[in-house]
Amino acid sequence: MIRKLIDTFLPGTAENKGHDLRSERIFISVLLISALADLLGISLAIQLQLTVIGYLLVSNAIINLALLVLYKYGVPKNLVAHAFLLQHAISFGVQAWYQGGLITPATAAYFLLPAVTILILGKRSAIVWFVITALMITGFYLYEVRYGTPTVHYPVDKKAYLFYGSVLSTNISIFILLLVYENSKNKALRLAEKRHHDLVITQTQLIQAEKMASLGELTAGIAHEIQNPLNFVNNFSEVNSELIDELNEEIGKGNLDAARVLAKSILENEKKIVHHGKRADGIVKGMLQHSRSSTGVKEPTDINVLADEYLRLAYHGLRAKDKSFNAIMKTEFDDTIGLVHVVPQDLGRVILNLITNAFYAVTEKKNSTGPAYEPTVTVSTQKVNDTVEIRVRDNGNGIPINIRDKIFQPFFTTKPTGHGTGLGLSMSYDIITKVHEGELTVESKSGEGSEFIIQLPC
Amino acid sequence: MKILVVDDEHDIQVLFEQRFRKEIKAGTVTFVFAFSGEEALEYLNKWEHEAVLILSDINMPGMSGLQLLENVKKKYLKPPPVVMMVTAYGDAENHRIAKELGADDFLTKPVDFAILKEKLKLSRG
């Protein structure tokens, strides 16, 4: 019910602001509590025959409610709040004057003003109102030092009753105010906790999405890629059945030389079938490896084969998305590397990510420059002393110097919203440095391109 | 009839030579192979009007089959030779673009040579 009463005074514009209306509700509560306190004070004023204060409190309550209505109909909160505080500063002053100056409950009530200001307007305004009230209290003190105590306007025998009533109502007011503040603070904390929890979940989902996104890009390319080996497997098999028929014919004719030639062809075709069958197998395995979560197990891996496989996958993945795209792929493989102990799925993911980025970079440059530009992505491997280097080079626009140290940070991306998760390079960095105890560095020249260097111990 | 086959897969040569071994033996058809779009254009520039039919893959590194088709149909040879494009199964987008660029016919991968031979007889007749 109280919540409903509070919400009737919410400004019409507030609902569209998209936050939880916490500060708006606190503000309305403060004004309502103060109006209530004014009304309660009226009975006290009547009993003490303080007619002027009685009228003052009635008008206070009315002004309070009027301010609430103004607030509801769009007058800015700042303006309403300062009017409210000013009204009370005057009211407390007048009450103190009538009650007998400095040593009265009304001057003591001044401390309410900066306290309330902190709740409804924040620190800066509270400092202002702290200074104002301090000056007013000091004013009363100086006045009394110089001119003596102002005339007391109520029956002195009721002094105890006045102090009792005033202090108690101030006590109640401040208690309720703090109660309102505490409740809404707890609510806000719970909300913040929930938001943080949601954010952590979203992050986990994003990391999974990053994996699935790069997989999705690949699937189309892989479907394309798998047609080539299948074409050979199907057709060489059919050719072989024809050749076997011919072979039988020749044998029937006793033509052994021709039969030998045919048998040789069949054998060669058979080799091609096996080769392309294995190739298709490799493509499917590569896809599965990429989608599976990593085993984290290091195994002896041919880095050149791995890099070549992912270069082709990245290329066809991109082509499947953008048909007009074309780039020169170059490989410079060092055949002396041998097998290196790595987690193939993880390293493959890194290579794929670097190559996809490189293709993205050259596409961007191609779109902004003329047909004279030849987009080129080079993947090279090299054994240097005790490390194996894998370099992915592009001749794109390069990485601007001011973002070069940010590119490995999680969620940093230069791609338009929805086109990149900003996790690719940061995941790559973790895989190389944490899983493989290697290094991932970048060299880049504006306008000439970038080169990412993976260094793995072997 | 001379056919220029364009594909970045080198085994395509062995495959075609075996699939058409009878026709090649009989001399009814000759094949020339190019393993990239650029190589194909080079050949066409050198031996203009030699090939009556071009059979091209689409997905190739460097110049794509579609770019080759565009070059052949618009820029280079007049009258242009018949161009048959090999598209991956279900690739409607490439099919549409190739048609717009003036491709004369289509084959899907994996290539069905019975259908190809049928088409060749048609285009010869």
Integer Cα distance of B73 and B100 in angstroms: 11
Higher pLDDT, A71 or A217: A71
| B18, closest residue in chain A (CA to CA) | A239
Q: Is the pLDDT of residue B106 over 80?
A: yes
Q: Is the pLDDT of residue B75 over 90?
A: no
CA torsion A331-A334-A339-A344 (nearest 10°) is -20
Q: Where a domain ends, among A154, A177, A202?
A: A154
Does residue B122 form part of some domain? no
Does residue A317 form part of some domain? yes
- Is the link from the previous residue into B79 a cis peptide, with omega within 30 of 0? yes
Query: Lowest-confidence range among A74-83, A201-210, A415-424, B116-125?
Result: A415-424
Does residue A232 form part of some domain? no
CATH number at residue A307: 3.30.565.10
3-class secondary structure, A34: helix
For residue A454, the surrounding DSSP H or E stretch is strand A449-457
Domain hosting A360: range is 297-457
Q: Which of B14, B61, B110 sits opposite A231 (nearest CB)?
A: B110
Chain B residues touching A232 at Cβ < 8 A: 9, 11, 15
C-alpha distance from residue A141 to each of A94, A99, A146, A337, B117 (Å): 15, 14, 9, 91, 114
Whether B109 sits inside 8 A of A232 (CB atoms) is: no
Chain B residues touching A327 at Cβ < 8 A: 61
| B91, closest residue in chain A (CA to CA) | A224
Whether A227 sits inside 8 A of B111 (CB atoms) is: no
Q: Is the pLDDT of residue A366 over 90?
A: no
Does residue A278 form part of some domain? no
Query: Lowest-confidence range among A48-62, A387-401, A440-454?
Result: A48-62
Q: Is the pLDDT of residue B125 over 50?
A: no
How high is the pLDDT of residue A20? 65
Whether A323 sits inside 8 A of B61 (CB atoms) is: no
Chain A residues touching B95 at Cβ < 8 A: none
Q: Is the pLDDT of residue B124 over 60?
A: no
Does residue A247 form part of some domain? no
How high is the pLDDT of residue A132? 95
Chain B residues touching A243 at Cβ < 8 A: 18
CA distance A250 to chain B (A): 15
Does residue A292 form part of some domain? no
Does residue B102 form part of some domain? yes
Q: At what angle do helices A22-47 and A159-253 cross, to 10 degrees?
A: 170
Domain hosting B93: range is 2-116
| A272, closest residue in chain B (CA to CA) | B11
Q: Round the CA-based radius of gyration of chain A to a whole number and report it.
A: 41
| B107, closest residue in chain A (CA to CA) | A231
| Residue pointed to by tokens 């002027």 | A52
| Residue pointed to by tokens 């084959």 | B107
For A288-324, letters b (16+ CB in 10 Å) and e give ebbeeebeeeeeebebbebbbbbbbbbbbbbbbeeee
Average pLDDT in the B17-46 region?
Answer: 90
Chain B residues touching A279 at Cβ < 8 A: none
Residues composing chain B: 125
Round the average pLDDT of chain A to a whole number and report it.
86
Band the pLDDT of A239: cuts 50, 70, 90. Answer: very high
Whether A223 sits inside 8 A of B61 (CB atoms) is: no
CATH number at residue B88: 3.40.50.2300
The answer to whether A232 contacts chain B (CB < 8 Å) is yes
Does residue B17 form part of some domain? yes
**Phi, psi of A297, rounded to the nearest 5 degrees:** -95, 130
Show the tokens assigned to B79.
């009258």
Q: Is the dihedral of CA A221, B105, A234, A274 positive or negative?
A: negative
Q: Where are the beta strands (DSSP E) in A385-448?
A: 387-394, 439-445
Show the tokens assigned to A442.
């970048």
Domains of chain B: total:
1
Q: Is the pLDDT of residue A365 over 80?
A: yes
How high is the pLDDT of residue A71? 93
List helix spans (H) across chain B.
11-19, 21-26, 37-46, 65-70, 92-100, 113-124
Q: Which of B18, B93, B97 sits opposite A265 (nearest CB)?
A: B18
Give pLDDT tens digits for A100-140.
Answer: 889 999 998 898 899 999 989 989 999 999 999 999 999 99
Domains of chain A: total:
2
Q: Round the CA-based radius of gyration of chain B to a whole number and report it.
A: 13
Does residue A271 form part of some domain? no
C-alpha distance from residue A188 to each of A33, A38, A96, A416, A438 (Å): 21, 30, 38, 33, 45
Integer Cα distance of A249 and A262 in angstroms: 11
- Is the link from the previous residue into B110 a cis peptide, with omega within 30 of 0? yes
The answer to whether A235 contacts chain B (CB < 8 Å) is yes
| Residue pointed to by tokens 């401040």 | A174
Average pLDDT in the A343-362 region?
Answer: 89
Q: Is the dihedral of CA B50, B54, B55, B58 positive or negative?
A: positive
CA distance A12 to chain B (A): 52
B interface with A, Cβ–Cβ < 8 A, is 9, 11, 14-15, 18-19, 59, 61-64, 66-67, 88-89, 91, 93-94, 97, 109-111, 113
Band the pLDDT of A14: cuts 50, 70, 90. Answer: low
Whether B109 sits inside 8 A of A235 (CB atoms) is: no
Q: Which of A228, A238, A328 sits opposite B62 (nearest CB)?
A: A328
Give pLDDT tens digits for A258-298.
Answer: 999 999 999 999 999 999 998 888 777 666 655 555 667 88
Contact A116, A28 (CB under 8 A): no
Average pLDDT in the A409-425 region?
Answer: 72
Report the DSSP beta bridge partners of residue A380. A332, A391
Interface predicted TM-score of the whole assembly (ipTM), two decimals:
0.86
Give pLDDT tens digits for A18-45.
Answer: 566 788 888 998 999 888 888 888 888 8
- Residue A343's contacts (CB-CB under 8 Å, 6 or more residues apart) are A294, A295, A296, A297, A298, A299, A431, A435, A436
Q: What angle do CA A140, A142, A148 make, to 5 degrees?
A: 80
Whether B109 sits inside 8 A of A265 (CB atoms) is: no
Does residue A412 form part of some domain? yes
Does residue B125 form part of some domain? no
| Residue among A169, A39, A152 nearest A95 (CA) | A152
Higher pLDDT, A405 or A70: A70
**Phi, psi of A375, rounded to the nearest 5 degrees:** -65, 125
Does residue B123 form part of some domain? no
Average pLDDT in the A431-456 region?
Answer: 92
Size of the A and B interface in Cβ pairs below 8 Å: 58
